[in-house]
A = this chain, B = another copy of it.
Amino acid sequence: MVRTPGLFWLEKRLLRMILRRLVKPVRVVLWNGEEISESVDPPSARIKVRDEATLWKLILNPELQFGEAYSDGRIELEGDLVGLLDTIYRSKTQTSESLYPRLVSRRWARGTVNTPRGSRRNIHRHYDIRTDFYKLWLDSQLIYTCGYFPSSNHSLEEAQFAKMDYVCRKVRLQPGDRVVEAGCGWGALALHMAKHYGVSVKAFNISHEQILYARQRAREEGLADRVEFIEDDYRNISGRFDVFVSVGMLEHVGLPYYRELGDVIDRCLEASGRGFLHFIGRNRELPLNAWIRKRIFPGAYPPTLRQVMDIFEPWGFSVLDVENLRLHYAKTLEHWLARFEESASPICAMFNADFVRAWRLYLAGSMVAFQTGWLHLFQIAFVRFDNNQIPWTRDYLYLGESDPKQESKWIHAIS
């Protein structure tokens, strides 16, 4: 093997193999200034790699190491991050992956297990980051799940309001209903339900920071008598409820616990009860991106519809409605990313530049994953199999939807 200055023959060859698979030309600039490209066309992006060790890691496990190196500055990007990620996602086929992730793809199930203790640790890692940080780029109600855009030009605030109302309509809230929410974030949905639909809510969350914030908000809005925020695991839900709702928690539950979640729902849902799940999923079985799993969401996993049936089938729940809101999450993330970039300076001051790069990559990568169909957003409405108090058609969901400010019309339609 002849060593070329600054780069082994093998490294170069492997790198060219990778670049050749990309649907748009990308150029790699080495630490010595040498440029590697597989196209004569002007590159859509230039990636500067700081040293040989980084290059080797990128070649062997790009899914994990791209994020690692981008976050701590060992690679620098000239050009548009979103455009590069789009090129990468569109270059992958859903059947082929690099060798390493395939070998370790099942490790997520063994690694960061979502036992009650494991879940607490995993959730703490992400959601107990100070709330001030999330205030800089989420909507005014701190809703950290996919919005619902009646049309694509609605604002993020409107989309989150519309999403909460859409959820309320999907579970057909009636005044006086007792609702249990598993995984309530900063409490926006629970408060929305109590305020606009006259229901009482018990909302569970294991993030200490979020629960404190939600309780404060309930007191400030005079809803503390009807919305109880409970710092506990979904597995400890007790009592009987007319509605079970969970928005953006299932991703953190973990496959081995789906039957247990189904058992919890079966225990707590009345015979005439309505259930609802909203979660990030896949159209086929794939592990979550290795870097996201390591750095952003330990223990997280986006399930397929097949896998989710473990929650319903053993207990005889009947799925009434499944909706895929993939492009709504892409749009939500577009808003989050734009606001994040606007606040990059204060966020950098709050943490550091590595943190900013890591979160920029996470937000941009997630947006592109939804845009390119690698991630999906499913909403599932369900009831017990023999519950005949179900809507005749779904048209009640779409009354006055085009204007999310027509709040009274929706609520009138429900009550």
Query: A residues engaging B (CB < 8 A)?
Result: 90, 94-95, 148-152, 283-285, 304-306, 309, 312-314, 316-324, 326-328, 371-374, 376, 384-388, 390, 392-395, 397-398, 401-402
Contact = CB atoms under 8 A, between A and B. Distances in A.
Nearest to A150: B393
A318 B283 contact: yes
A410 to B, nearest CB: 13
Contacts of A149: 392-393
Contact of A322 (B284, B321, B402): B321
Nearest to A149: B392
A318 B373 contact: yes
Scoring A283, A309, A323 by chain B CB atoms within 10 A of each residue's CB, the highest score goes to: A283
B319 A309 contact: no
5 contacts: A148-B393, A150-B393, A150-B395, A319-B322, A373-B384
Given A386-B372, A395-B402, A402-B395, A305 B319 contact: yes
Contact of A321 (B312, B323, B372): B323
Given A318-B373, A327-B390, A374-B385, 6 more contacts: A90-B386, A152-B392, A283-B385, A320-B323, A322-B322, A326-B390
Given A373-B387, A385-B94, A393-B150, A324 B313 contact: no
A316 to B, nearest CB: 4
Contacts of A385: 94, 283, 373-374
A394 B149 CA distance: 12
A324 B316 contact: no
A220 B327 CA distance: 44
A372 B388 CA distance: 8
A205 B333 CA distance: 46
B318 A326 contact: yes
A90 B402 CA distance: 42
Contacts of A392: 149, 151-152, 327-328
Given A150-B393, A373-B318, A402-B395, A283 B327 contact: no
A285 B312 CA distance: 12
Given A305-B309, A385-B94, A394-B398, A376 B323 contact: no
Contact of A394 (B152, B304, B323, B327): B323
Contacts of A394: 323, 394, 397-398
A388 B376 contact: no
Contact of A312 (B151, B283, B326): B283
Contacts of A151: 392-393
A387 B285 CA distance: 19
A211 to B, nearest CB: 33
A304 B313 CA distance: 9
B401 A386 contact: no
Nearest to A152: B392
A196 to B, nearest CB: 20
A312 to B, nearest CB: 7
A304 B305 CA distance: 11
A28 B244 CA distance: 43
A402 B393 CA distance: 10
A285 B306 contact: no
Contacts of A402: 395
A366 B168 CA distance: 33
Nearest to A330: B388
A326 B318 CA distance: 10
A402 to B, nearest CB: 7
Contacts of A304: 309, 313
A309 B306 contact: yes
A401 B393 contact: yes
A373 B387 CA distance: 8
Scoring A314, A388, A395 by chain B CB atoms within 10 A of each residue's CB, the highest score goes to: A395
Contacts of A148: 393
